[in-house]
Amino acid sequence: MASVIPAVSRLSNRIIRILGCNPGPMTLQGTNTYLIGTGKNRILLDTGDKDVPEYQKNLSEVVSSEQVNIEHIIVTHWHHDHIGGLENIFGTIAKNPKIWKHKRDTNDAADSDIPTIKMNWLTDGQEIKVEGATLKIHHTPGHTTDHVVLTLLEENILFSGDCILGEGTAVFEDLFTYMKSLNRILELQPGVIYPGHGNIVEEPLEKIRYYIAHRNQREEQIYQTLKNNADKQLNEMDLVKMIYTETPEHLWPAAAYNVNHHLTKLTKENKIKSINIDGESKWQYIPIQSNL
C-alpha cells in the first residue's frame, strides 16, 4: 500500500511539495505541485485542479511562511488537474507570475484552456532559472501532445508530470510517441523522480525500464489473446476482462483506453484487423500468410 503523502512536504532545501487535495482513481492521492528554488523568487510547477480551497490555503500558507514570490508557473500539460488551479492562483497567491506551457499539437483542440491568462510557450531544451534552481525543459509527448518533463540540474531530479507516476502506470494519447518519450527519459539518467501523482520514485531507472517493458508486454498479451481467439471479434473491454485480471474493475475503463491505443498500433502494423459490427469497432487476428 502506498504511503500517505502529507499536504505539504519539504523535500529538500530547494523543493517543497504541495499536494493538490484532489484525490481520485486517476489522480491517486492528488496532483503533486512543487515550489522550487532557494531565494525570494520561486517556480511553481503545476497548479492542481480548479476550485480546491484546501489546496489554495496550503499553497498560500507556504508562500507566506517562506516569504517568497512565485515568479514563474510552469504547467507540465493541459489536463485540468494540472492547469485548473491556475485561475485561482493567478493574481492572488501568485501576484504577477510568468506562465509557461508547451503548445499543443495543431491537430488538438484550440490551445485556449484558460484564454484569459497569457501563456508563454515552452521550447524543448529551454532553461528557466531562479536562485538555487535551474529547470531544463524536455518535450515528451504521448500522454498529451504538449507534455513536458523537467530536470533540476542542481540535483539531477526529474519532474515527470504524468509520463511516469509514483504508483501504477500512466495513460496516453499516442502510444508511439509515448514510447519514444519513455526512452528519452531513460537517456536522461535521472537520480530520482518527483512525479505528478504518487510518491517519490527513488529507483528511477528501474521504474522507467519497467514502464517500457510493461507496455511491450501488454502489447504482446493483446496480440496473443487475439491470436488464441482467432475465430472471434473482440472489443477493448473484452480484452481487458481477459488480460487485466488483477486490475480493480473501476480501472477497467482506463485500461480499455490504453488497449485501444495498442490495437491501433497493431492494426497499422497489419498484425490484426479492425471490423465494424453494428457501429462498434472490434478487432481480429490476421493469420500470417505463407509464401510457400
- Where are the alpha helices (H) located in 97-231, listed in sequence order? 175-188, 204-228
- Sequence-distant (6+) residues with CB within 8 A of 36 are 14, 15, 42, 43, 44, 45, 130, 133, 135, 152
Task: Specify the number of domains making up the chain.
Answer: 2
Provide the pLDDT for residue 291: 43
From residue 134, how far is each of 72, 120, 152 by CA, in Å?
A: 12, 18, 6
* CA of residue 87 relative to chain centroid, distance: 21
Q: pLDDT (tens digit, 9 = 90+) per residue, 218-257?
A: 999 999 999 999 999 999 999 999 999 999 999 999 999 9
Residue 64 lies in a domain: yes
Examine residue 192 and state whether it is found in any structural domain, yes or no. Answer: yes
Same-domain check for residues 247 and 270: yes
Q: Count how many Cα atoms sit within 13 Å of the Cα of residue 234 in the half-sphere of its side chain.
A: 26
Question: Which residue from 224, 226, 156, 230 is spatially nearest to 193, judged by alpha carbons?
Answer: 156
* Residue 292 located in a structural domain: no
Same domain, 180 and 264: no
Max CA separation in the chain (angstroms): 77
One domain, residues 37 and 155: yes
Question: 67 and 153, same structural domain?
Answer: yes
pLDDT per residue as tens digits for the range 8-27: 999 999 999 999 999 998 89
For position 290, what pLDDT does the model report?
A: 42
Whose CA is closest to 182, among 146, 149, 145, 221? 149
The whole-number pLDDT of residue 26 equals 87
Whether 164 and 69 share a structural domain: yes
- Looking at the fold, whether 94 and 54 belong to one and the same domain comes out as yes
Q: Which residues contact 98 (CB under 8 A, 6 or more apart)?
A: 71, 72, 73, 120
C-alpha cell at 166: 509514483
172 and 241 housed in the same domain: no
Per-residue pLDDT for the chain (292 aa), expressed as one digit of tens each?
679 999 999 999 999 999 999 999 889 999 999 999 999 999 999 999 999 999 999 999 999 999 999 999 999 999 999 999 999 999 999 999 999 999 998 766 556 567 689 999 999 999 999 999 999 999 999 999 999 999 999 999 999 999 999 999 998 988 889 999 999 999 999 999 999 999 999 999 999 999 999 999 999 999 999 999 999 999 999 999 999 999 999 999 999 999 999 999 899 889 999 999 999 999 999 987 544 4
Long-range contacts of 107-116 (CB under 8 A, 24+ apart): 107/145, 108/145, 108/146, 111/78, 111/146, 113/78, 113/83, 114/83, 114/86, 114/87, 116/87
Domain boundary (180, 202, 224) is at 202
Instruction: Note the pTM of the prediction, 2 decimals.
Output: 0.88
Q: Is residue 2 part of a domain?
A: no
Instruction: Outline where 115-199 has alpha helix (H).
Output: 175-188
> What is the structure's pLDDT at 276?
93
Q: List CB contacts of 191: < 8 A, sequence separation 6 or more.
A: 155, 156, 157, 204
Collapsed DSSP state (helix, strand, coil) of residue 140: coil
Whether 95 maps to a domain, the answer reads yes
On whether residue 291 sits in a domain, the answer given is no
- Domain of residue 13 covers 8-202
Within a domain: residue 47? yes
In a domain, 234, yes or no: yes
CATH number of the CATH domain containing 258: 1.10.10.10
Domain boundary among 140, 168, 202: 202
Look at residue 105 in the predicted model and tell me its pLDDT. 87
pLDDT, position 108: 64
- Domain boundary among the residues 154, 178, 202 is at 202
